[in-house]
Each structure stands twice: as structure tokens, then as C-alpha cells.
Structure 1
Amino acid sequence: MDPRRTVPEVVLDPDLPASVAGTLRSSPAILRAVRAGAVPPPSGPTPGMVLVVTSFLLVALMVTGPWGMVAIGAVVAAFGGTQALAGDPKRRDARRRLRLAAAHAGRFILPEDLDAGCRELLARAQSAVAGVLGSQVNGAGLLDAIDNSVTLPAEVWRLAQRLADLTRTRAEHDRIVPRDVPDDIAGVFSPYDDALDRARRSLTSRVTTLEEYAREVRRADAVYRAYRQLGVLRERTPDYERLLAATAEDRLAVPHIDRLGLQAKDVERVFHASIDEARRAGGHLLSLAAA
């Protein structure tokens, strides 16, 4: 499995509660609105509305007395409750999602938060992770050197945060550094350029490590499929032995039969070797994440 992505997906903090993460993931337009500066409306009555209602009740108190004001207040409250219940459910849901996204604005990263180079790196990382998590050997629990379902989303989140930081710093750098720097002082800016370049190379290395892990897992997947198919054939070995015995002399059939068993052991050795390679690649990724 080798899914190729050209555009990255939204990245969420893996520590978000599942219900919050599900709501945010299903609301990309609202996440973009929050990132663009949208502010959720207040959940309660506005100060202007409170002033109007208070003034109305004071007038009612002066005109009708205490009991009249209580009666009018009850009518106003009932009308307000009816209006709230009769409001558009879609608008209420949109406001709820907007408030939730605004409350967690620092816990998601959009493709738009990254420049072109950083978006490409994030897309590559997400492709690699999707390949590992969707693999048969991962589903069968054979990659026990690394808890992929926990470690890989956390690695993508850390990577996305650093890519967003690099994007912001690089954009600020481009705004500050003049384009027409005289040659005799251009060297003054080189340490800053080098810092940006080192950060980019470091992040590229992390993505490459993820891709190497995904490649080892793909190889392990292919061998695992062959290994399982061979297991089915091994159950039918007596049928093949019978065919060989029936079509050749026993002294010729025996080497063929022995070869079947040896080939099965060879595939089994390759399978275990490929799993070990994938585990080592995962262990290397884990050591990088801990660094």
C-alpha cells in the first residue's frame, strides 16, 4: 500500500478528545474561518438586548405594578424560549462548531498554514503514515517495536507544528531581509539563511525516515501475503506429493517433494527477516522522535 498525496490533510493534536477531534475534522470550512479571524457570536443575550428588556420591565413595573411586571416578564421569557427552540438547527450547529474551533485554534494545522515546500513535506509524511497504518502487517500486530497508532500521529503532529513554525519564520525573514542587499554586506544575513536551511534539512530528514519505514512495511506486507499464500499451499502439499508420485518414479519424486519443503522454509525466513527490518526502521523512527 503506497497512497500518494499531493495536498496534505488537516493535522489535529492527537491529545484532543475523540469527540472534539471528530467535530473539528468534519468542519474544514469553519477551521479556515477561525484561522482567517472569524469570532464566534456570544452564546447568551447581547448587552443591547439585556438593556432593552430591562428598560421594558421597568416601564412595565411603573405602569402595571409588580404583578403586571411578573406577568409580562413571564410572557417575554416564554417568547424568548420559544424563539430559541425554533431557531435554525443548522445555524446553531454552525455556531457551536465555530466556538469549538476557536477554543482549540492552537490545536490544529491547516494546509494553508504552510508554504509550498512545507506542504509537500507534510503530504509526504501523511502518505507514509497512511501506508504503515493501513498495512496488513500492522493490522496483524506484527510491528510490535513501535505503537504505530499512537506514535505516528504524534510524530505527524510534531512535524506539522515545526513546519508551520518554519513557514512563519521564513515568511517573516522574507519581509525583513531586503532583496537588493549590496554584495559587500550580504554575508551578514547568511547565518539567518543557514538557520532556515538547516531547519528545512532536519525536517526533510524526519520525513525521509518516515518514508523509509513505510517502504520496509510495504516490503513486509508483500512477503506477508506470499507467506500466507504459501501457508494455504502447504496445507495442500499432500496433493502435490500425490501428483509427483503418480507422474514420476519415486526416486525422482522425492527431491521435488523435499524442494517444496525447503522453499517454504526459505519464504518463512524471508518473511521473518522483512518483519525484523521493518521493526528496526520503526525503532529508528522512535529514537528520532524521542530526540
Structure 2
Amino acid sequence: MEPVFAPDVPDGVRRLYERRPELFVPAGQPRPKRQTSWSVAPGNTFGTLLVWLAVCVGGWILALIIMAATLPAEVAGWTAVALAGVAFVATGGVLVKSVVEDRGHKAVRLEHGKYLLPEDFDDEAGRLLGRAQRAVKTVLEATVTQRGLLDEVKNDLVLPEQLWDIGQVLHEQSVLRARQREVAKGMKTAELEAVLGPQRRALALSVQAIKRKVDLLDQYADRVRSADAALRAEAALEDGDRYIELLARTEPAGDTTVVQGFAEEATALRDTLTRSINAARDAGRTLALPE
């Protein structure tokens, strides 16, 4: 199972998860605070700045001594001024970096609540989300999708919305299941059952509803796979002329029924491909979100 992102989360944040997943904070935890070197480790930052200043000042003085002994006074003076300017600019950069929030931490903080991590789901919810993610991946990576044969279904818009909607519901189900277990732990009374009974039934109804949504995604992915298979078979038939030529060159007086079969198979396959594409479109339309 992979994390699920809201559709409006920038691609850069999604790629950031691949490189630095440790930055991301589960939805069940508070939004992370703004972090800089000063806020995380003020003592270390101050010590680093002191060391930097000591190196800059000491290096400048040493360079000044060497230049005074080896260069004309005017050249040494201008060179010392230039080195001081470089050191001043570099020190300013170090200071700015110590008080500016790292871009990765900032992105994670601003987008918190718009992504759900594997740890935001219990086992039951994780299995359903994994199924939904695999179905969406199948559809988006299919050849018929890449060639635009299913454009009217608007997969690029509908499927990420569906996946995010499913992820949010599954996360809430996970939270409520954990809450019910916590409340019911170690005791069982009529009063408690009177409260938890309706809650469990409501949760069960929600689980069944989300399972139906995932089943629809699976069905759509199956239709798309069938259409992809038919498309590949049609591509294979494009080599039919080469096989006909091969037979003509090696078996000029042979059985012609095989050659006739190519034409018949091509006609049948075109019909199969059309039916497969239409079936995939019909399945995709059932997933459209309400306006």
C-alpha cells in the first residue's frame, strides 16, 4: 500500500515522499510546527555560527598578513576588502539559512491533512485501499488510456478524486474501529452495548459501501485490461501480411484456409475491440463523481 494524496497536492510533494518519507506526519498526529535550525537546535546553531565567524575572521587576518608581505600595499588593500566582502556575504547566507525553514519541512507542514500514510490505516482499511490503488494504476497505465481511447471518462480527473475519497473514508473507519476497541476494552455492560451497537452497525454499513466502490474500481480495471488485450491482439494482426507472404514463398500450392482465416479473424477482432472499449467506457462512467 502506498500513501494517498489529495488531487490538488503538487507533484513535487509526491516526489518528496519518495526521497524523504521520514518528513511526512500521519493525519492522526498534530500538524508539524515550523522548523528552523534555531528552533530545533539553538545551541548547536549558535556554536556553528561562532565557529564560522572564527574561521572567517582568522582566515581573513592570515590572508592579510600573507598579502602584506608578498603584494604591493595597494593590491593587498583591495584584495583584503574583496575577501572581507565575500566573507560578509557568505556569513549572511549562513545566517539566513539558519532562520529559514527547510523547503521539505515546509511542504509537509503546509500539505498536512492532504495526504494519508500507510500508518493512517488499520489492516482491513489498508487491504481495501491497496486494491483501489492497484485498480487505479492499472487503468492509468493501460495502453487504451495512454492512446486516449477512454478520454471521455476523464480518468485523470475522476480516479484521483475517487482514490482520495476512498482513502478519507477508510482512514475515518480505522479511527472509529480503534476508538470502539478502546471504549469496549475490559468491560461489557448493557449501557455500553446500547451505545456501541448502533455505532458498530453504522460502521459496518459504511464498510460495505466502500467495498462496493472498490469493487466498481476493480471491475473497471478488468474491463480496461480486456480492452488492452484486444488492442495488443489487433497490433499482432498487423503482421498478417508478412505471414501470408511467408506462406506464399514457402508453400505456394498449400492450404489457403489459413490465409482466409486472417481476414476473418481481423473482422472478428475489430468487433471484439469495439465491444471491449465500449464496456470499459460504460464501467468508467459509473465511477463519475456527482457534479
The answer to whether the superposition gives a TM-score over 0.5 is yes
SS at match of 2:7: coil
1:108 maps to 115
**Among residues 3, 18, 24, which one is paired with 1:10 in the alignment?**
3
1:125 touches 1:211 (CA, 8 Å); kept in 2?
Answer: yes
> CA separation of 1:88/1:227 partners in 2, compared to 1, >3 Å: closer, same or farther?
farther
> CA separation of 1:108/1:185 partners in 2, compared to 1, >3 Å: closer, same or farther?
closer
Structure 1: 5+ residue stretches without partners: 1-7, 50-77
SS at match of 2:24: helix
Structure 2: 5+ residue stretches without partners: 44-85
State the Cα distance separating 1:271 from its structure 2 match.
1.2
Give the Cα separation in 2 of the matches to 1:245 and 1:86.
Answer: 81
Give the Cα separation in 2 of the matches to 1:79 and 1:102.
Answer: 33
2:74 maps to none
Matched, 1:242 2:248: yes
Which deviates more, 214-223 or 15-24? 15-24
State the Cα distance separating 1:216 from its structure 2 match.
1.0
Give the Cα separation in 1 of the matches to 2:119 and 2:88.
Answer: 41
2:273 maps to 271
Give the Cα separation in 2 of the matches to 1:31 and 1:25.
Answer: 11
Q: Deviations over 1:210-266 (max 9, x none)?
A: 111111111111111001111231x43752673698224xxxx56554433222101
Aligned residues: 247
Give the Cα separation in 2 of the matches to 1:144 and 1:156.
Answer: 19
Give the Cα separation in 2 of the matches to 1:204 and 1:92.
Answer: 48
SS at match of 1:32: coil
State the Cα distance separating 1:203 from its structure 2 match.
1.0
Report the aligned-residue RMSD.
Answer: 3.5
1:132 touches 1:138 (CA, 8 Å); kept in 2?
Answer: yes
Structure 1 length normalisation: TM-score? Answer: 0.72
> CA separation of 1:92/1:139 partners in 2, compared to 1, >3 Å: closer, same or farther?
farther
Which amino acid in the other structure matches residue 120 of structure 1?
A: R
2:145 maps to 138
Give the Cα separation in 2 of the matches to 1:167 and 1:282.
Answer: 28
Give the Cα separation in 2 of the matches to 1:170 and 1:86.
Answer: 49
Aligned-residue identity in percent: 25
2:93 maps to 85
Which amino acid in the other structure matches residue 123 of structure 2?
A: A
Give the Cα separation in 2 of the matches to 1:92 and 1:136.
Answer: 49
Which amino acid in the other structure matches residue 127 of structure 1?
A: R
**Among residues 172, 175, 187, which one is paired with 2:182 in the alignment?**
175
2:34 maps to 40
Q: Deviations over 1:134-189 (max 9, x none)?
A: 11111111113411122111111111111112122222222233553246973553
| 1:143-222 equivalent positions in 2, closer than 5 A | 143-182=150-189, 186=193, 188-222=195-229
| 1:55-74 equivalent positions in 2, closer than 5 A | none
1:24 touches 1:97 (CA, 8 Å); kept in 2?
Answer: no
Structure 2 length normalisation: TM-score? Answer: 0.72
